[in-house]
Amino acid sequence: MKVLLATQKPFAAAAVKGITDILEAAGHQVVKLEKYEAQADLVKAVADAEAIIIRSDKVTAEVIAAAPKLKIVVRAGAGYDNVDLEAATKAGVVVMNTPGQNSNAVAELAIAMMIFMARTQFTPATGSEVQGKTLGVQAFGNVGRLVGAKAKALGMKVKALDPFLTDDQIIAGGAEPVHSLDELYAGSDYLSLHIPALPSTIGSINYELITKMPKGATLVNTARKEVIDEAGLEKALEDRPDLKYVTDVAPDNLATLQEKFGLRVFATPKKMGAQTAEANVNAGLAAARQIVDYFATGNTKFQVNK
């Protein structure tokens, strides 16, 4: 089968080699489309692809329509909001993710961002320590649990909210369960977001919620920019000069936020949560193995459009 590795933000060389080795050993052919500039490049490249491995690359209805031989798309990573699942399902294309494979990298970045803001973006201004503070984790999945464990090791108290988990599951994951967003935000010096971008979560982190946070609190976003109500965030930062926002996914109003709020806001220039050699290898090789397995045995364990 012809497998297209379409990564606008390429994997580390070791991961690309590992992906190629696994697929070629199983008799598949690998074609690479890396660092492409326009979506039209992806649309063109999928013409004869039977499988595609992607990261945050956008597999839209147009991409699927341009790929008549396509059977499977594997998002090497967790969030699959970049894939048009409806169009894929209609076309009979299996979509998978590789849950957990890049979680540690994202969790480490969330912790790093928290400390970066506590220490005023590594400027000489007097900062604060995270020890003894409370971290609220919104969604206690693979990344959220790791962030919680690392925060505990730093001497933080950890609270978590996850509508899909029981209290016992949250406690087993090392956090104190919280049952409402209001309670979570009101009790968190740091709030780390780990929710997916879904119709129900897009724009849900709004003024009311953000301003519930206690004095001096920081909102940490290594999830998706779409979950933030950007106008609400701007107003919250305006009305509450003690609040801070740090994100791995730059908001559309970043220039305004930086101009108005200076060191209280930071955004990475490009999404980098999963951008470690280890995460690239873990997620990339898992994607390759899932494709080999799917074609060999029909295994759909990680299918997200069942």
In the complex, the smallest distance separating the C-beta of residue 281 from ligand 3PG, rounded to whole angstroms, is 13
Using DSSP, state whether 257 is helix, strand or coil: helix
Closest of 137, 122, 142 to residue 221, by C-alpha: 137
In the complex, the smallest distance separating the C-beta of residue 297 from ligand 3PG, rounded to whole angstroms, is 25
In the complex, the smallest distance separating the C-beta of residue 32 from ligand 3PG, rounded to whole angstroms, is 16
Contact 142, 165 (CB under 8 A): no
- CB closer to ligand 3PG, 193 vs 243: 193
Half-sphere exposure of 61 (CA within 13 A, CB side): 3
What is each CA distance from 206 to 12, 53, 58, 213, 305, in whole angstroms?
A: 36, 34, 26, 12, 30
Nearest-CB residue to ligand 3PG? 77
- CB closer to ligand 3PG, 56 vs 134: 56
In the complex, the smallest distance separating the C-beta of residue 271 from ligand 3PG, rounded to whole angstroms, is 5
Q: Which residues bind ligand 3PG (CB under 6 A)?
A: 9, 55-56, 77-79, 102, 271, 273-275
- CB closer to ligand 3PG, 77 vs 136: 77
Closest of 234, 175, 170 to residue 206, by C-alpha: 234
User: Tokens representing 158?
Assistant: 């950890």
In the complex, the smallest distance separating the C-beta of residue 251 from ligand 3PG, rounded to whole angstroms, is 16
Closest of 115, 160, 156 to residue 141, by C-alpha: 160
- CB closer to ligand 3PG, 20 vs 102: 102
- CB closer to ligand 3PG, 118 vs 288: 288
In the complex, the smallest distance separating the C-beta of residue 187 from ligand 3PG, rounded to whole angstroms, is 27
Q: Which residues of 79-114 are buried (b: 16+ CB within 10 A; e: fewer)?
A: bbbbbbeebbeeeebbbbbbbbbbbbbbbbbbbebb
Range list of H helices, 26-102 = 39-45, 61-65, 85-90
DSSP secondary-structure letter at 5? Answer: E
- CB closer to ligand 3PG, 106 vs 237: 106
Closest of 121, 79, 106, 89 to residue 265, by C-alpha: 121
In the complex, the smallest distance separating the C-beta of residue 55 from ligand 3PG, rounded to whole angstroms, is 3
Between CA 57 and CA 9 the distance in angstroms is 8
In the complex, the smallest distance separating the C-beta of residue 36 from ligand 3PG, rounded to whole angstroms, is 14
Between CA 214 and CA 190 the distance in angstroms is 9
- CB closer to ligand 3PG, 128 vs 276: 276
Using DSSP, state whether 20 is helix, strand or coil: helix
- CB closer to ligand 3PG, 79 vs 214: 79
